[in-house]
């Protein structure tokens, strides 16, 4: 049974990579944009509708399991689901408390996994679809002062890979895009935490390698990669973690 109401749904659409991706996916068909920031999300929806696109907006905190279930029931099975929501915090590992881990994992790991599993269940009975989640090169490349964030992204990646193995037979593909430093509000927070460090040039004391491409990513660099994985052009790609980092990870 086909239960498709929206061509695409973006979770975490109000700013940064999510907003840029919304402007791309809005050109492809009906779009639902979801974010915890109601004001910014609604303003984006108005902007996209003014451009002639068919866009609806919903407010959601993805740590609210009942709220996620309500969204899935209302929205049905999209063909494409983008999981962009996430939070960032940094502190020395010796000062990173269990409560900091819990708050970051609640969004980046448990919340993202819950959205993915609930939509994947509907997709599996509605003809399949594609899911793409924003990971991070920090999931495989340790970052100073980012124990909780790095661990949350690594755990999300592995949990969704297991989910991917279980739903691919039903036509549901799950992949990841792992950005390096990108010009977003989250990376501005990272830059503030690494005062005086040129993120593109690297810094030995912070164990940050240079970016061979010589620049930070723009949000469109990441959104373009996500759009590819959320398309039929990537029909035989499953459980892939696509690094978009200007070569910072050296292909590891």
> Annotated active-site positions, please?
149
E strand or H helix that includes residue 80: strand 80-83
Residue 102 and residue 151: Cα distance in Å, rounded?
11
Tokens for 90, please give them. 């940094």
- Which residues does 186 contact at the CB level (< 8 Å), separation at least 6? 16, 86, 88
Close Cβ partners of 167 (under 8 Å, ≥ 6 residues apart): 120, 123, 124, 174
Alpha helices in 106-248 (DSSP H): 112-124, 147-167, 185-193, 219-229
């Amino acid at each position: 049974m086909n239960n498709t109401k929206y061509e695409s749904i973006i979770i975490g659409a109000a700013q940064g990579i999510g907003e840029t991706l919304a402007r791309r996916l809005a050109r492809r068909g009906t779009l639902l944009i979801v974010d915890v920031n109601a004001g910014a999300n609604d303003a984006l929806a108005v902007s996209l509708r003014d451009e002639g696109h068919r866009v609806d907006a919903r407010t959601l905190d993805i740590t609210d399991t009942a709220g996620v279930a309500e969204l899935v029931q209302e929205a049905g099975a999209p063909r494409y689901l983008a999981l962009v929501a996430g939070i960032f915090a940094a502190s020395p590992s010796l000062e990173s408390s269990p409560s900091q881990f819990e708050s970051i994992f609640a969004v980046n790991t448990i919340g993202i996994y819950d959205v993915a599993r609930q939509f994947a269940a509907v997709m599996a009975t509605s003809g399949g679809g594609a899911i793409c989640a924003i990971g991070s090169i920090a999931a495989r490349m340790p970052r100073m002062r980012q124990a909780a964030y790095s661990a949350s992204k690594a755990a999300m990646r592995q949990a969704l890979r297991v989910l991917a193995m279980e739903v691919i037979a039903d036509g549901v593909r799950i992949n990841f895009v792992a950005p390096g430093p990108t010009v977003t509000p989250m990376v501005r927070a990272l830059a503030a935490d690494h005062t005086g460090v040129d993120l593109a040039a690297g810094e030995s004391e912070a164990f940050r390698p240079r970016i061979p491409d010589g620049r930070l990513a723009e949000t469109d660099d990441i959104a373009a990669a996500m759009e590819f994985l959320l398309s039929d052009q990537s029909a035989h790609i499953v459980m892939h973690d696509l690094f978009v980092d200007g070569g910072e990870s050296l292909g590891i």
